[in-house]
Structure 1
Amino acid sequence: MKVAGITNQQEVYVVSDSKPFKINQILIIEDENLGSLLGEVVETSSYNKYIPFNINGEMGDNNVLESLRALGYNIDENTIYIARLNLIVEAQYPVTVGSKVRYPSFDEVKDLLVKSSPERGLVLGVVKSTEELDDTIDNKYRDLLCLLQNGKVKNQSGIPFIFDIKSMQQYPHIGIFGGSGSGKSFGMRVILEEIMKLSIPTIVLDPHYEMDFSTPFDKLESKYRTDFKDKFKCLQIGRHVGIKFSNLSVRDLSAILSAASPGSFTEPMMSVVEQLHKKGDTYYSFEERLMILKEAQEIGNERRIVELLNNAVDSVEQDRYKRMVDIYKKYGTLPAQSVNGILWRLQRLNKEGLFTNDIREIENCLMQGKTAVVQGPLKIMNVFSSYVITSLYHKRRDYRDGLQLGESLDYFPPFIIAFDECHNFVPKGYDTSAKSVIKEIAQEGRKYGVFLILATQRPALLDETVTAQLNTKLVFRTVRASDIDTIKEETDITSEEAKRLPYLQSGDTFISSAIFGRTVAVRIRMAKTTSVHTENPFDELLNMNSKKYEELFKDIKDHLPIYPNDLLSVLKNLNSAGIRDIEDLKSSLEALVDMGYIRKSSTIFGQCYESAV
């Protein structure tokens, strides 16, 4: 391998007549004047005399051809492989044409590609195109993971990509971008597995109910498996966790009710909450005050309420109307429509179970170094996330501020907040209940040890302030031009790499990180656990149909053979669900014939169904 063509301080062409080059491959140029120079392959091609060389003018010209001849390459007989290399560090002056090029050893690229040890970092995958370094890799970096390619499990080949989690204190927050089916959620699962391995406190907001780590990947060898059952806890909103109503301030309650129906929370509604909410209110005391005011406004005036009080039949009714008179005197001028709107929102959230619990389970997980996976519908998640993130962030912040002021406060650990579909929580162009606190954490969280992992299919829809604070970005296959433009603006991905984004294989990613100072192409490792959503829906349908007809065959096999006159008696004795009438039974018998369970023959008594197994 040699340098050919015209060179400069940033890029050169390298040629070989024996072996093709791979994209993202690291090579060393031995320049007599400049010494050893590291370069990365950013574009590859091959030339043969039967194929015109200058098809599009991008991978060379006559200068390169003349250079190849001068270097002794027989371009008229051999296939010549050509690569364009970008130098990792700019040279002082152009590289010498004819300089030898070779593959590096592991020690020569270790500082470039390895930033942490496997025990202290996140082992996320393998750096692509580093297979040639296998023979020289240190033992401690070998056999750390498996890869899943084309449905088959493959052992590690190449340098592992290990993310230095400690460096997040200086370069905080991770973004994960990629379209549907690109491997984005798979990559997030791998990151969370590695975080659990290190017992780092984490909250995962999971609106898709997929971040359960209790089921091991059945294709993985036992030596690569890890049991995460004691490392995480799934907590459902309304069942395990919720918001303790008596702890809410007027501001908290207003934010929660506003998030319940974004865009329609008005100033009069805010006024209703401010006037009716009392410190220490329970859900029921606040709801009762609203309901009594609503009823009083429907009655219409104080005189009519007093009449009802005077005609009350018992002391309970008297007490209710006395309370109604007092409430109407104080708050009767509040807009009835706003009172109804607040009551509707409040009861809707309570019906979802939002006010039936507190966040102690989440706090306990963080204190124990576990991952709390919070699950719930997206709308309720948006409401709940605002409260829980604000509460926990302020606990950590108060603890750190207290240390600076010499105050003795209960310890609260640093933690990570991770969630998918983050453009729903911090969108560009409009506010949500959680947006302000997430933006604050994005800008100031590292000072307090609170970090973000944000995943989205649509980076163009994510708030720009937050996007700019994501110092490490994993970019999976992305098709939309607007999203690719956003990625190009927010990362150091080259124009060549941006062109490849729509064609990346699922699980391949570009990792653009300030920690590495460059973009690294990585194949994400095989996850050690599996999601409940990994089964192909068409396989699921096929399996369910097979199970259904297998059970049906068990029910009818004792009735075989079945003649037309037997159908009614068979139907009466059939236990299979979904068989409602004779026509259903006939259709099911025909399906069993098609599936090979029974066979059909013609007799003098009509069509006969008999066992085929």
Structure 2
Amino acid sequence: MEDMIKLRDIGSVIADDVSPSFDVFRFKALANEYVHPGSLVASAINNQTFILGRISGSIEINPHESPSRTAVRHAMQIEADYPGEELSTTVYRIYEADIIEQGIITKSGVEIIEPMDMAKAGQPVFIPNEEVISKAMGFEKESTNALVMGHTRITGENLTEDEEEIRENVLLKPDFIQRHVFVGGTTGSGKSFATGILIEEISKFKVPVVILDSQNEYISLTEELEGRVLRPGVDYTVRLSSLIESEVLDLVPTLRGTVGYELLAFSFLALKREIRERARQEFGLTDLIRRMESDAPTLEVKESSLRLALMRTQSSIYRHDFIGERTNWVELIKRYPVINIDCARLDLSQLQLVVGATLRELQNLRLKKEIPPYVIVLDEAHLLVPEGEDTACKQVIRENVRIGRHYGICMILITQSPVDIDKKTIRQCNTRFIFALEPDQLQALQGIKADATEEMLQRLPKMPRGTCILSGTYETIKHAIPIKIRSKRKTTPGGVAPDIFKEVKEVWKK
């Protein structure tokens, strides 16, 4: 039975004061066999059944290196002289694994069920094959029907010569994006690279992707996937009617404390009401100015105050060159697989305004079935859905996350600062790629780490770049597991920091 599901033996189950139990089992490792924290291991119960566990800890037993013996050697300047692990009867390693699943061998293959048995002391422990790992994690069977993200850190670890030999076995089912995705990691950890792969894989299923790109990370990707890059104020504008009251009032701060402030709010809300009542479809700055003129008598605004209000409203809004005609999203999404809104030149308030208005326009079109389901990619998400702040942009993002799965609106949130992002929002992202983070940032993940252990998260900074913990809810990713994101992309990675020393040497020191 084992030969059907295992790669190699790595040890045998031991019996001690905590193992075996219904929750954990411990095993003595064979000499020179090592497994990573979070790796999956298995042990047979009988000819048809096996227990699947995830490595949670380890310890080395070596009486020759006890404090007293080490102190004696140091004091007497004696070299250590005892056999190594492969020949010793007293030097060995003990691993502990949390039981996560149980497997049954059937005529049709492997079936994964909830764990109901303990491991058996004395039974061999082995590394399971890809079929077992795939079914235990809820991965897809074939790469043609999946998003190919990389490989688990369980297989292929001895293949240091050529990474092409490593089979990519992290095959995510496409429908996981409907439950939203969170990508978190410090600068340089590989989160943007992984997001690029995610976008490439989504694109092969012809699902439109809209990127709100605040750092120019995905320009080359968009162009190489034959998408379209739009720049607010250049070839991309949002309609004034796509804003909400607080956003419009913030655009004209010089009206605060004047009767013109009340007039602006009154007229803007009147126009928005006409849209709700289907008396009009949209409105722009000219429509707002006319409405303010017609509403002035109702609020008893004097002529001089009206002129001042109109002048300040017109000049303030006009300065924001990204407010203008509505973008034809129906045509854009029909023509381009990826649309990148390059927001790099915008300040924070402008970024939030453009993102909020864009999401509202797309949501309205989707709810009216005028555009197909789509994926939104939000870079620097902690700026857009900040913890402890209530912004208009945050409201629309939270609404998209809340209703998205029912209407085909899928969200990917990327951040280097989970501690600064709204926890209610990321809790609704049912698939998470967690890269290396600072200790204080790790604390912010307590509510969303699923069954990832503290040891798995704390080890992330020590793992190779591009390694992350893949976790989620049971319906997306059954169990948290360390994975290595594949190193080859179809498109050119963006966001590479310039070589300032090379530039100074070659350009400025001539």
Q: Which band: TM-score by shorter chain?
A: 0.7 to 0.9
| CA distance in structure 2 between the aligned counterparts of 1:110 and 1:243, rounded to whole angstroms | 44
- Aligned amino acid, residue 108 of structure 1: V
Q: Confirm whether residue 530 of structure 1 aligns to residue 492 of structure 2.
A: yes
Assess if the C-alpha contact under 8 Å between 1:49 and 1:76 holds in 2: no
Q: 1:216-235, aligned counterparts within 5 Å?
A: 229-235=224-230
Match of 1:310 in 2: none
- Aligned amino acid, residue 81 of structure 1: R
- Aligned amino acid, residue 486 of structure 2: R
Match of 2:34 in 1: 21
| Larger CA deviation: 379-388 vs 235-244 | 379-388
Match of 2:75 in 1: none
Residue identity over aligned pairs, in percent, reads: 19
Q: 1:89-100, aligned counterparts within 5 Å?
A: 89=101, 91-100=115-124
Local SS of the residue matching 1:447: helix
- Aligned amino acid, residue 101 of structure 1: V
Local SS of the residue matching 2:210: strand
Q: How far is 1:176 from its partner? A: 0.9
Highest RCO, 1 vs 2 (Cα 8 Å, sep ≥ 6): 2
Q: 1:591-606, aligned counterparts within 5 Å?
A: none
For residues 195-226 of structure 1, the C-alpha deviation after alignment (integer angstroms, 9 at most, x for no partner) is: 223221121101112211359xxxxxxxxxxx
Q: Confirm whether residue 367 of structure 1 aligns to residue 325 of structure 2.
A: no
For residues 510-566 of structure 1, the C-alpha deviation after alignment (integer angstroms, 9 at most, x for no partner) is: 01122121102111122333345314x4x23323422455xx5xxxxxxxxxxxxxx
For residues 75-124 of structure 1, the C-alpha deviation after alignment (integer angstroms, 9 at most, x for no partner) is: 85574232211222275454322112223233333322432532232111
Q: Which residue of the other structure, out of 478, 482, 501, is the alignment partner of 1:521?
A: 482
Q: Which has the larger radius of gyration?
A: 1
Q: Confirm whether residue 166 of structure 1 aligns to residue 125 of structure 2.
A: no
Q: Confirm whether residue 157 of structure 1 aligns to residue 176 of structure 2.
A: no
Match of 1:82 in 2: 94
Local SS of the residue matching 2:163: strand
Assess if the C-alpha contact under 8 Å between 1:200 and 1:369 holds in 2: no
Q: Confirm whether residue 479 of structure 1 aligns to residue 438 of structure 2.
A: yes
- Aligned amino acid, residue 120 of structure 1: N
Match of 1:208 in 2: 215
| CA distance in structure 1 between the aligned counterparts of 2:419 and 2:477, rounded to whole angstroms | 24
Assess if the C-alpha contact under 8 Å between 1:420 and 1:455 holds in 2: yes
Q: Which residue of the other structure, out of 75, 91, 101, is the alignment partner of 2:125?
A: 101
| CA distance in structure 1 between the aligned counterparts of 2:230 and 2:68, rounded to whole angstroms | 61
For residues 19-61 of structure 1, the C-alpha deviation after alignment (integer angstroms, 9 at most, x for no partner) is: 2322133222123499321222222343444333999xxxxxx
Match of 1:11 in 2: 24
Q: Which residue of the other structure, out of 498, 504, 511, is the alignment partner of 2:457?
A: 498
Distance 1:335 1:487, change over 3 A: farther
Distance 1:282 1:28, change over 3 A: closer
| CA distance in structure 1 between the aligned counterparts of 2:374 and 2:481, rounded to whole angstroms | 26
Q: Confirm whether residue 271 of structure 1 aligns to residue 262 of structure 2.
A: yes
Assess if the C-alpha contact under 8 Å between 1:475 and 1:510 holds in 2: yes
Local SS of the residue matching 2:207: coil
Q: 1:24-63, aligned counterparts within 5 Å?
A: 24-32=38-46, 35-52=49-66
Assess if the C-alpha contact under 8 Å between 1:29 and 1:38 holds in 2: yes
Assess if the C-alpha contact under 8 Å between 1:17 and 1:79 holds in 2: no
Assess if the C-alpha contact under 8 Å between 1:49 and 1:75 holds in 2: no
Assess if the C-alpha contact under 8 Å between 2:148 and 2:201 holds in 1: yes
| CA distance in structure 2 between the aligned counterparts of 1:159 and 1:420, rounded to whole angstroms | 26
Distance 1:86 1:275, change over 3 A: closer
Match of 1:395 in 2: 365
Q: How far is 1:347 from its partner? A: 3.4
Local SS of the residue matching 2:429: coil
Where does structure 2 lack aligned partners over 5 or more consecutive residues?
1-10, 70-84, 102-113, 272-281
Q: Which residue of the other structure, out of 310, 320, 326, is the alignment partner of 1:358?
A: 326
Match of 2:189 in 1: 182
- Aligned amino acid, residue 412 of structure 1: I
| CA distance in structure 2 between the aligned counterparts of 1:498 and 1:427, rounded to whole angstroms | 23
| CA distance in structure 2 between the aligned counterparts of 1:473 and 1:512, rounded to whole angstroms | 5
Q: 1:228-267, aligned counterparts within 5 Å?
A: 229-245=224-240, 248=241, 252=243, 254-258=245-249, 260=251
Q: Which residue of the other structure, out of 496, 503, 507, is the alignment partner of 1:543?
A: 503
Local SS of the residue matching 1:423: helix
Distance 1:274 1:28, change over 3 A: closer
Q: How far is 1:288 from its partner? A: 8.5
The alignment covers a number of residue pairs equal to: 449
Match of 1:126 in 2: 151
Distance 1:334 1:33, change over 3 A: farther
Q: 1:244-323, aligned counterparts within 5 Å?
A: 244-245=239-240, 248=241, 252=243, 254-258=245-249, 260=251, 271-276=262-267, 282-284=284-286, 286=288
Local SS of the residue matching 2:25: strand
Assess if the C-alpha contact under 8 Å between 1:21 and 1:82 holds in 2: no
Assess if the C-alpha contact under 8 Å between 2:15 and 2:26 holds in 1: yes
Assess if the C-alpha contact under 8 Å between 1:3 and 1:101 holds in 2: yes
| CA distance in structure 2 between the aligned counterparts of 1:208 and 1:31, rounded to whole angstroms | 53
- Aligned amino acid, residue 332 of structure 1: V
Local SS of the residue matching 1:427: coil
Match of 2:200 in 1: 193
Assess if the C-alpha contact under 8 Å between 1:511 and 1:520 holds in 2: yes
Distance 1:412 1:275, change over 3 A: same
| CA distance in structure 1 between the aligned counterparts of 2:12 and 2:304, rounded to whole angstroms | 82
Over the aligned positions, Cα root-mean-square deviation in angstroms equals: 3.7
| CA distance in structure 2 between the aligned counterparts of 1:265 and 1:187, rounded to whole angstroms | 45
Match of 1:297 in 2: none
| CA distance in structure 1 between the aligned counterparts of 2:462 and 2:251, rounded to whole angstroms | 39
- Aligned amino acid, residue 285 of structure 2: Y
Q: Confirm whether residue 510 of structure 1 aligns to residue 469 of structure 2.
A: yes
TM (norm. structure 1) is 0.65
Match of 2:301 in 1: 332
| CA distance in structure 1 between the aligned counterparts of 2:213 and 2:464, rounded to whole angstroms | 25
Where does structure 1 lack aligned partners over 5 or more consecutive residues?
56-72, 135-148, 216-227, 294-322, 400-410, 553-613
Q: How far is 1:174 from its partner? A: 0.6
Distance 1:196 1:108, change over 3 A: closer
Q: How far is 1:331 from its partner? A: 5.1
Q: How far is 1:364 from its partner? A: 2.5
Assess if the C-alpha contact under 8 Å between 2:382 and 2:420 holds in 1: yes
| CA distance in structure 2 between the aligned counterparts of 1:14 and 1:3, rounded to whole angstroms | 4
| CA distance in structure 1 between the aligned counterparts of 2:150 and 2:285, rounded to whole angstroms | 49
Local SS of the residue matching 2:446: helix
Assess if the C-alpha contact under 8 Å between 1:174 and 1:471 holds in 2: yes
